[in-house]
């Protein structure tokens, strides 16, 4: 079943959309795939916000269809152990449950969220937004529930048939995380997730995908 995942799956934390922030700082770059990962401090939060940017030469529908394919999430989303569609509201909107793995002895994290995709009719920019709906599913004794998360995916058409992919998230992971894990997750999550996208986007089912209400750039 197809679903908007954005997941932001293996991510973690949020406190206020109006929180003061510092400037973005480049953390990691992979020139071979045009990928850059940035982080920035959020006032009132112990954990940083991350942003990954990657330029790919694919159709908008190719990139969007990967995000809508919830069943594929564990194959490419960093540390995604499980993703389940609880309700497919419409072709571009779904309620999803996901489980994020963590190294022992840190507890795995889970969350329930509404994910919705939309496209600007003039610019053709596609945005996938999420909102937390944790109350729909009781907490599991073996997992720590992610209490807050804000973020989005954005697919922006560029010249020569290219698309700029942006993956940005800030969250509250719940419980506590060791400093080494907290510092690595904000870089490893976007870096590994977006690196894995490169091979996934080459698959025929995404190359040939057609999506209701989503148009490609001319």
Q: How many domains does the chain have?
A: 1
Half-sphere exposure of 65 (CA within 13 A, CB side): 20
* Helices and strands per DSSP (H, E), number in the chain: 4, 10
The length of the chain in residues reads 218
Residue 196 lies in a domain: yes
CA-based max dimension of the chain: 51
88-120 tens-digit pLDDT = 999 999 999 999 998 888 899 999 999 999 999
pLDDT at 46: 78
CATH number at residue 29: 3.30.530.20
**Residue-number span of the structural domain to which 69 is assigned:** 25-207
Exposure string of 47-76, with b = 16+ CB inside 10 Å and e = fewer, is bbbbbbbbebebbbbbbbbbbbbbebbbeb
Residue 16 lies in a domain: no
Residue 4 lies in a domain: no
In percent, the amount of the chain with pLDDT more than 70 equals 90
CA distance linking residue 201 with residue 9, whole number of Å = 18
Residue 11 lies in a domain: no
Query: Closest by alpha carbon to 209, among 122, 121, 130, 117?
Result: 117
pLDDT at 77: 96
Residue 106 lies in a domain: yes
5-48 tens-digit pLDDT = 444 334 333 333 445 678 999 999 999 999 999 999 988 887 88
pLDDT at 184: 85
The answer to which of 169-173, 180-184, 186-190, 196-200 has the lowest mean pLDDT is 180-184
pLDDT at 69: 95
Residue 10 lies in a domain: no
CA distance linking residue 142 with residue 50, whole number of Å = 27
Residue 12 lies in a domain: no
pLDDT at 20: 62
> What mean pLDDT comes out for the span 138-167?
94
Residue 218 lies in a domain: no
CA distance linking residue 212 with residue 99, whole number of Å = 28
Is the entire prediction scored with pTM above 0.85? yes
Higher pLDDT, 176 or 63: 63
CA distance linking residue 47 with residue 206, whole number of Å = 34
Residue 215 makes CB contacts below 8 A (sequence gap 6+) with: 60, 119, 124
Report the 3 state secondary structure along 10-30: CCCECCCCCCCECCCEEEEEE
User: Could you tell me the two tokens for 67?
Assistant: 């995000």
């Amino acid at each position: 079943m197809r679903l908007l995942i954005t997941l932001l799956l293996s991510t973690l934390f949020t406190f206020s959309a109006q929180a003061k922030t510092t400037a973005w700082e480049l953390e990691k770059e992979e020139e071979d795939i045009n990928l850059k990962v940035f982080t920035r401090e959020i006032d009132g939060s112990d954990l940083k916000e991350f942003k990954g940017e990657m330029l790919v030469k694919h159709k908008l529908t190719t990139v969007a269809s990967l995000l809508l394919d919830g069943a594929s999430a564990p194959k490419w989303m960093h540390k995604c152990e499980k993703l389940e569609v609880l309700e497919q509201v419409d072709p571009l909107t779904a309620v999803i449950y996901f489980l994020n793995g963590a190294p022992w002895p840190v507890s795995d994290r889970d969350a329930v969220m509404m994910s919705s995709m939309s496209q600007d009719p003039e610019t053709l920019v596609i945005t996938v937004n999420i909102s937390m709906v944790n109350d729909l599913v009781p907490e599991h004794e073996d997992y720590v529930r992610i209490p807050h998360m804000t973020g989005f995916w954005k697919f922006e058409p560029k010249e020569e048939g290219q698309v700029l992919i942006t993956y940005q998230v800030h969250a509250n992971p719940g419980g506590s995380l060791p400093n080494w894990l907290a510092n690595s997750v904000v870089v490893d999550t976007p870096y590994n997730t977006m690196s894995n996208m490169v091979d996934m986007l080459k698959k025929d089912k995404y190359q040939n995908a057609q999506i209701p209400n989503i148009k490609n750039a001319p």
